[in-house]
Structure 1
Amino acid sequence: MEGNIPAYYRDVSLRLFNLLDKVGLSEDIRWKWINIMLEAEQIVSIANASPFHIFGSQAEATTTKGLQSDIDIVNYLTSMSVLQSIPSLQTSEAKYIMVSDANTPPGYVKLQILNRDLELQTHHSLDSIGRFVLCSRDFYSKSNLERHGPAYKKMVTRSFSIDSVEALRVRFWPCQSSQWENRNYNYPSQANIGLIKQTGALLVPVGHPFSPESHLEWRISISYGEKILVWQFNSTQHKCYVLLKMIKKHFVQPSCGEKALTCYHCKTCVFYALQSTPSSLWQPENLLLCVELCLRTLCHWVKIGYCPNFFIPEENMFHGKLYGHIQVKLLAVLHDLLRQEGKYFLRLSCDDIGPRLTRLCQTSLIDSVNQTKEGVESMGLSIVSLTNFIAFSQKNFACKDLGDKIRFVSNICCTHTPIPTVLRLVYSSSLGSDLASKCLAYSVIDKEKLDIAHKLLTLGCASDVTSGRLKLAAFYLIQDNFVMAEHVLRRIHENYTYLVSHCRSTPTEEALFKILENNLSAAEFVRQYVAFPVLYFQSEIHCMPQALILQMFVSKGPRLLDHGPSQCVFVDPEFFLRYLEYQCYFRQGKTSHKMAALDNMLWVVYYTYLEYEGMHMNAWKVLCKSVRLQNEHNAAMWQIAFLIKYAFRFLRMRQ
């Protein structure tokens, strides 16, 4: 075989290997990314008080900025216990048992009811042989979100979406995968097989597409095991998998569609390739050869129309996705790629791989592996995901009543790992504002409770760069303590060097380099470099400046107005900083400082709404609605005036 390998494969493999380091696939960024996603899991699990897990590209760190991968999350119900056999029944709390029959496709099961009292419920039904089983179709919660198979897609921002799956967790190893653990292969090792078996499986509420009882079937998913195997990829295996995903997106998807070849097919292909080849093959100088090996495997699977699941080989993952002209098209694309002997990489547009590889191949030296801006920016995607999850948990916490908030903060105060510490600080700010608002609502103020609220707000200052401090500054202004308010606002300026606004942008390059240079954890990075939007709920109304009480949206206003809870207000941290400065200086009579703050505030409005193409009409609708709700002392009037000025200038330019 070695004689058939083109001579340039080794040299190009090394150049491509180093180039991929620069787009965010180096080992240090890879493991930073994985740890950030693990911390994000902790955040939402703590916030929801229930297990929460992230899977797919984000959790595996097998994505780049160009691939634009979504986040796949799984929520499962711990209250619905499932068994695999009657002899394992040790408790009366078990509700279901996994069953199958001759008509149940491989990789799928039904859930028969053990508790006879549940049989008359509407989400249970009789199957073809007379068993009462749990309907997978009725398991989905009522939602207006877009459905993709078993997943709900939620667009958080224009570039950030979450695919959420509801599933059941089983702690045992499924019988249908029993043959996999007894295979005579060196991959995976026996130690890893034992580890994977301990993770169990998920039962996803989706049936086989061609089964007459698909509404009663549940798909077996070994998602935990797959994540463990991908984490254990060496650098070459990791990059080979990502390159297959890039090839799929650039060459396959435009002509064959999204479903013909998926990322999961590519992942399965790498697993089988590792099983059938010696570990010595997977070295940087063989990267192209490894990709070609996987392409040949995919080509063979497409030709026979059968892609075996790695854990349950009897399950054909092409079933219902690959047929007719799509199969012919996909086979033609793969054959064409194999004929090009790696030259297709020079045309790969994802992350600008093709042009950059072309330039590298025109030099006599292999490029160094130093981190560049592109690679560090790729890691910024995981930071954005983490900040979104923290903001999500913050909103959930703010929806609780005061008693629940106090109990929740007390519980997480018992742990001292980084993530609970960050959440404790974020929640302390919200709890302090809520408590202070209740104190200020009465004509006779309870000084003792107000002091406790002040201490909580002060503790919450360390949650991130701005939001906790801004709430504290607003609290001081409400109490006419202008000296302390000005002191807090000045402190914010001192810490505003690197801004990662959850509302608006990915982290700056300088901030991301700090993670690598100082070996910061994601939790510490949040505290030092992230500026969350300020979130006020109705329960905090007496701690808000008067002009912000009625829906003053600055950043991402239309999205928050349409989909956010009606009793909350989101305020962009930078705008709120300028607004509080204006109020503070105005009430102290510092005219020059007041006018400077006003100019800064107007510039923030310009930057937020007018920099992004297509946002003007959305901004106009939000601002007009805000003015209809409150037509006096509303900062939206300034923004409307600025938009009108911009519109007239635009019309003059067109004329």
Structure 2
Amino acid sequence: MSRDHRTVSLKLSKVLNDIGVNERMILKRRRTVLLWDTMDTLGTDRLLGKNISTYRFGSQTEGSTTLGLHSDTDTLFCYNKYNVIQDWGEWQPGKLNLLMIQDETTSPGYCLLQCLKLDEPLPFPTALLNHELGRYLRVSRGKVLVKNTAHRDSAIPGSVSNGPASSIQGGPGFADHDSVPAHHCNSWPVEARPWLLQQGLGRWPSEDIKRYCETTGCFVVPVSSKNGQNEQLEWRISTSQAERCLMFNINITQLRCYILMKMILKTFINPRCNGVLSSFMCKTVLFHCIQNTRSNNWVQSNLLPCLMCCLTVLQNFVRQENCPHFIIPENNLMAGRISPHNKHKILEILQNILQGGDCALQEIPTDDLGMRLQVKMNMDEGFQYYQTPAQIHNKISTGLLLNTTIAISMNHDHFLNEIMHDGNEMVRERLLNFMFSLTRMYREVGISSLEKSALKLLAPLLSSSLGSVIASYDIYTTHSISPEALTWFSVCLNSDVASGRLKLASALYCIGDMERAEFVLRNTEENYDLNSVEPVCGCHYHPMYYQRQGFKHKCNTGNEEVIIKHIIAFCVRFLRCEICCVPEELQYEMFRSTQEDRLERDEIFDFWMDSAVVDSLPYLYFLQYKTYGALQRVADQQRALANLVTTIETEQNLGHRETALNLIGQCMEQENRHIDALRCYMKSLNIRCRNNAANFLICKLLSLSVNMQ
């Protein structure tokens, strides 16, 4: 290796370190995404009994991305009620057993799924196939096979069908999201067994890694091959868990090579060649190179030659129009994808990059990589406008924490949606069961496990709901709050900066205990640092604008649980069975929808509209306004009202701004400022014209005005 290559490699490694491709940020990305998976699986699978496990695969989980690559999130939903088998001996009674079949009609890396009987290990009889089952099953060569279109009915509303995936485009600050249904097979794919015995020059992967990969089995995903004969019947065999294990066992130089390949793809190749090459192909190229190259080559001072090696292998694959899947090499990832015209262009581009060495890298705009490299090489010392490494690392940490808190909020939302239409007593019983299940699981899992962290994040918001449900019943029957309710409230007081305390204060206000309510509210206001606390709402999608500097600074310190306690304010949610803990002004939000409005709602995502939901900061000031009014502390009451108005004008990241405006409007009515109240309601309708309590509040205000005249 020439001295120039060594110099460029070291400078390039430093640039990648600066933009977040370093061990610390990679481990942080991996832990965060695995924590999301764990929360979703514990919530959906274990607590709600949906029998679905959640897995996030791809760049976000691997840590093989940067801010500028804008990598999407690939979520796989595994339906555990199916038992996918490759051998009749794996058949299980009482389960929906599906036998993987590979014959002369199936493409390499793909299979058919034969439906078997529930009560004995025999094929499902073709005679029992009726019209209803015909939507999901088809008879072929005397076998009842599952169609790969069976899951299309469950596509996410608002999404776009993209093969097996439901794709939702992310807004500002959010990644695009692909949701893929799948079934799991516990046994390692037959086609992949030769891979377990292979050994390359790099002696990678190790025997231990291969043994672990074998235990992960495989998934079957509902999509056919490009050139398959069974378009509606083929299922792709996915070894995503094994591939994730491989990515977790590569070194930093290898990961940086992969990221550079993706940047080259994004900058030079895919814009000119219709996106025919995928990042998965680049990952496959990397795996082949690591397997066939001595391990001592993969060091930071050799990054550029390692990258050129990868690009040379990619060039050969394109030339041969064959990119063999790393684990199932008979599966050609490029089959039928590259036209002669695109092939010529790709080979030409790759050849120019290989001849130019680091020159092409200096042209990459993603994350300012090219310009940063020029600065490191002392070619453009005057270029200083880009973000510092500390700012970039803070930005990555901020995004990860915000997504974690949204995951917590959404899980809480899903729990409440599952029970919200049950009777009051049933809601209480189910919330108690959730809490007891969480406690039992917490005791069973390891001390430092992801499960323990996930459970500690999920429990407080559920505890808050349980305390409020019990308190609402107490208030209805005895106009007091029982010690049981107060105990559950106490568990959630530090769930975040405000929401747990505000639910307690709301209940205290509703029983007329103004002194204690005022104390809790004052304590909440003292903890709510306006320079560092951000509101978080997982009820619906809304853009997250610029975060506070104090918030971004603190995101990069401590673990999730500690950080959330000090800089996150979840929105405050009340089910209808909590109505006695809710001031009259907020109760209107529980009945915001007319029958006509309901036709405009998304039945999957808009269930929160049957509850009262408000952002923490406006609710804090509203409760202070009401409490100080009851205590006849006029100056404090007016200060709270002024803070409430200021919050609406200055806080960019509110998820329920229309509700806050409705609360201000009702405060204005109580101040006899009816014109100001009407303005608030009209502003609220400008944000959400349907399914908004403002429609009723305006009618009520106009009726009052007419009667006064």
TM superposition score normalised by structure 1: 0.86
Q: Deviations over 1:280-302 (max 9, x none)?
A: 11111111222222122212212
AA aligned to 1:360 is K
Q: How many corresponding residue pairs?
A: 613
Query: Aligned pair 1:341/2:357, yes or no?
Result: yes
Q: In 2, Cα distance between the equivalents of 1:451 and 1:610?
A: 36
1:153 to 150, 158, 167: 167
Query: Aligned pair 1:606/2:649, yes or no?
Result: yes
Structure 2 residue aligned with 1:62: 64
AA aligned to 1:629 is F
Q: In 1, Cα distance between the equivalents of 2:685 and 2:369?
A: 37
Query: Aligned pair 1:138/2:150, yes or no?
Result: yes
| Segment drifting more, 23-32 vs 199-208 | 23-32
Does the CA-based 8 Å contact 1:83-1:94 persist in structure 2?
Answer: no
Paired residue secondary structure (1:539): helix
1:376 to 394, 404, 407: 394
Measured after TM superposition, the shift of residue 71 of structure 1 is 2.0
Does the CA-based 8 Å contact 2:170-2:177 persist in structure 1?
Answer: yes
| Segment drifting more, 220-229 vs 286-295 | 286-295
Does the CA-based 8 Å contact 1:170-1:203 persist in structure 2?
Answer: yes
Structure 2 residue aligned with 1:445: 478
Distance 1:412 1:92, change over 3 A: closer
Query: Aligned pair 1:535/2:573, yes or no?
Result: yes
Does the CA-based 8 Å contact 1:203-1:219 persist in structure 2?
Answer: yes
AA aligned to 1:154 is I
Q: Deviations over 1:299-320 (max 9, x none)?
A: 2212221111111111111224
Structure 2 residue aligned with 1:217: 234
Structure 1 residue aligned with 2:694: 627
Query: Aligned pair 1:577/2:620, yes or no?
Result: yes
Does the CA-based 8 Å contact 2:535-2:653 persist in structure 1?
Answer: no
Paired residue secondary structure (1:465): coil
AA aligned to 1:67 is L
RMSD: 3.0
Measured after TM superposition, the shift of residue 506 of structure 1 is 7.4
Paired residue secondary structure (1:255): coil
Query: Aligned pair 1:315/2:331, yes or no?
Result: yes
Q: In 2, Cα distance between the equivalents of 1:488 and 1:320?
A: 66
Structure 2 residue aligned with 1:642: none
Measured after TM superposition, the shift of residue 21 of structure 1 is 1.9
Does the CA-based 8 Å contact 1:23-1:378 persist in structure 2?
Answer: no
Matches of residues 180-329 of structure 1 in structure 2 within 5 Å?
180-185=195-200, 186-258=203-275, 260-329=276-345
Paired residue secondary structure (1:550): helix
Distance 1:204 1:451, change over 3 A: same
Q: Deviations over 1:31-69 (max 9, x none)?
A: 122122222222111211242222111111122222222
Query: Aligned pair 1:40/2:73, yes or no?
Result: no
Measured after TM superposition, the shift of residue 124 of structure 1 is 4.7
Paired residue secondary structure (2:454): helix
Does the CA-based 8 Å contact 2:525-2:620 persist in structure 1?
Answer: no
2:629 to 586, 589, 593: 586
Q: Deviations over 1:147-175 (max 9, x none)?
A: 22211123575432432111001111000
Q: In 2, Cα distance between the equivalents of 1:610 and 1:429?
A: 23
Does the CA-based 8 Å contact 1:473-1:488 persist in structure 2?
Answer: yes
Q: Deviations over 1:322-370 (max 9, x none)?
A: 22433333333323322321212222221222222222221899x9xx9
Does the CA-based 8 Å contact 2:286-2:310 persist in structure 1?
Answer: yes
Does the CA-based 8 Å contact 2:136-2:149 persist in structure 1?
Answer: no
TM superposition score normalised by structure 2: 0.80
Does the CA-based 8 Å contact 1:99-1:110 persist in structure 2?
Answer: yes
Distance 1:207 1:359, change over 3 A: same
Does the CA-based 8 Å contact 1:24-1:377 persist in structure 2?
Answer: no
Where structure 2 has 5 or more consecutive residues not aligned to the other structure, the ranges are: 47-51, 118-123, 420-426, 444-451, 538-543, 592-599, 659-681, 702-709
Paired residue secondary structure (1:122): helix
AA aligned to 1:229 is L
Structure 1 residue aligned with 2:188: 173
Does the CA-based 8 Å contact 1:127-1:216 persist in structure 2?
Answer: no
Measured after TM superposition, the shift of residue 127 of structure 1 is 5.2
Q: In 2, Cα distance between the equivalents of 1:284 and 1:335?
A: 24
Q: In 1, Cα distance between the equivalents of 2:683 and 2:192?
A: 55
Paired residue secondary structure (1:535): strand
Q: Deviations over 1:124-150 (max 9, x none)?
A: 544542211111111334333222221
Structure with larger RCO (C-alpha < 8 A, sep 6+): 1
| Segment drifting more, 93-102 vs 389-398 | 93-102
Instruction: Give the % identical residues.
Output: 27
AA aligned to 2:583 is P
Measured after TM superposition, the shift of residue 383 of structure 1 is 1.7
Does the CA-based 8 Å contact 2:545-2:653 persist in structure 1?
Answer: no
Q: In 2, Cα distance between the equivalents of 1:252 and 1:319?
A: 18
| Segment drifting more, 45-54 vs 578-587 | 578-587
Measured after TM superposition, the shift of residue 88 of structure 1 is 4.1
Structure 2 residue aligned with 1:25: 21
Does the CA-based 8 Å contact 2:78-2:184 persist in structure 1?
Answer: yes
Distance 1:424 1:277, change over 3 A: same
1:129 to 141, 147, 152: 141
Structure 2 residue aligned with 1:105: 107
Does the CA-based 8 Å contact 1:377-1:509 persist in structure 2?
Answer: no
Paired residue secondary structure (2:326): coil
Measured after TM superposition, the shift of residue 225 of structure 1 is 0.7
Structure 2 residue aligned with 1:8: 4
